Structure formats: structure tokens, C-alpha cells
Amino acid sequence: MKKLVMPLVAGLFALSLTACASGTEETTAAETEAAETEAASEATEAESEKEEEASADISGTLSMVGSTSMEKLANALCESFMAKYPDVTATAEFVGSGAGIEAVTNGSADIGNASRALTEEEKAAGIEENIVAIDGIAVVTDPANTVSDLTKQQLTDIYSGTVKNWSEVGGEDAPIVVVGREAGSGTRSAFEELLGLEDACAYSNELDSTGAVMARVASTPGAIGYVSLDVLDDSVKALNLDGVAPTEENIKAGDYFLSRPFVMATNGPVDEQNDVVKALFDYIASPEGQEIVKSVGLITVE
């Protein structure tokens, strides 16, 4: 009997030691996890304090002037940027890309918004092309139009005035009302350049804003116009071009030919600008800023 008791006691003792060791390991793991959580929390707090200190150090004004197509983006950025930096006042004026580049060139604005690439002449004058997003240009008609797709050549022929009736491109027998933007518009410049029709379009109407083009096309039978991709809604019909729909995926893939950069131009490189301007560009490049770009229907620069 004694021989049986001794092994049993030894076994219980070993089991007890194992349990103690296991409990110690669990305690150590829990302590380690707690320490890691606390360290992460402290790091987050330190980062938050650093951001608050940076925000407190930045104050002043920032002005941007230019493209009406960039209105949504510019307003969203100004609003959220001022929320992040309460001592900053950011304003945006929308008078066209050409006027924006002129304003940043003569120093009356910190940033010139242009919905097109800068010209070689503008770059030679020291204006820096800072691409902050990519926009697609959608070709739109009134909702009742039976045409759903145009080739690049057909679109060129319509805007040059060679084709004047929808029946010539597979539609109904109805005159084409060619709607476009005013001279100096970045959207117009980009559209005409992409089609090789600089100053050669036969417009029936030349309107001074993206919204005006949308409204005119939506309410005019037989009308065709071009607008920024981000403003599309059900009031108009967006056409496929060369069989490709105007979508972000197709633009990123390079399959949709009507796309252009959104530029926030500065007079000289960004790192030579004042602290407020530099902070804005840092903000645009941040995850928060990139989400704003996406939220207004634009494509981020990768």
C-alpha cells in the first residue's frame, strides 16, 4: 500500500508544479499584453500631443484661386484643414484655371488651382505643378438620348462641327446641340487638348461653370457636353467612349482617354512656401487628406 501512495503523492506534486508554472506563464503573458497596451496608448497620446502642438504653432491665412471644377475638393480641404488648424483661415475662389495660374504667378494667391496640366511656359516662369488628384472628364447628353457610346473620332467630329445630327452616329434624327465651357476653363483646355481641337470647337453654348453645363445638357433635347467625373448624377446620361465607361477603375487602368490632373500650383517648390501652405500639402498627402480626395469622387495620386 505504501508503494502505491508514494507515486500518487509524487504525481500530485508534479501536477501542482505544472499548474503553478502554467499559471505563471499566463500571468506573465497577461502582464506583457497589458504593458504593450499601455505603451501603445502612451505612444498614441504622445503623437496626439505632438499634433496638437504642431497645430498650435501654425497660424495665418491661405488663399487659393482657380478652377471651378475643383470647387468640391477645394472647399472640402479648406473646411477640414481649418478644423485641424483653428488658427488658420483658408479661402478658395473659383474663377477658372487660367485665372488661378495668373493669380499665383502675380502673388495675389498662395495656390493656383488648375484642372489641367501646366504649360511649358507656365513651368518656365517658375510655377510648380503639384498634382493632388486625377479627374475624369465625362461626356454627357440629355437622359432621353438613345446613343450610349461614341468613338474618339465621332466625338471629335461632333465638337469640330463635322457631324451635326445624332443620326450620323447611330442616334435619332435630331440636331446636336454642342455645349462647352468658356475660354480659360481648365476643363475646356483639357478636353480640347485631348481631342486635338484647341480653339477649334463649334460650340452652340459656352458656359462659365461645370454646374451650368450640367443644367443646360439635362434640360436641352439633343445636347452634348463635358463635365468633371465627380459631378455626375442622374440628371444626365454619361456616354461610354470607345466602349469604355467613365469610371475610376478604367481611368487608373489607362483605358479611358478623357482624364486630367487636378493641380494646386505654387510659385516655386512647396518646400519654399510659407508654413501654412506647406502644412496644407502635408495634410493632403496624409491618410485623412487622401480620404477627402476620394470622398469628392476624385482619384488619388499613387
**Given the C-alpha cell 503573458, which residue does it identify?**
29
Rounded to 5 degrees, what angle do the CA atoms 61, 98, 185 make?
115
Single-letter amino acid, residue 18: T
State residue 6's pLDDT score: 44
Domains of the chain: 57-134+261-295 (3.40.190.10), 135-259 (3.40.190.10)
CA distance 298 to 162: 33
Residues in the chain: 302
Contact 265, 110 (CB under 8 A): no
Contact 241, 153 (CB under 8 A): no
State residue 131's pLDDT score: 96
State residue 5's pLDDT score: 43
Nearest to 156 by CA among 173, 181, 139: 139
pLDDT in tens, 199-250: 899 999 999 999 999 999 999 999 999 998 888 999 999 999 999 999 989 9
What is the pTM (predicted TM-score) of this model?
0.67
> Band of the pLDDT at 50, cuts 50, 70, 90?
low
* Residues with Cβ within 8 Å of residue 212, at least 6 apart in sequence: none
CA distance 55 to 44: 16
> Band of the pLDDT at 8, cuts 50, 70, 90?
very low
* Residues with Cβ within 8 Å of residue 256, at least 6 apart in sequence: 136, 241, 244, 245, 246, 247, 250
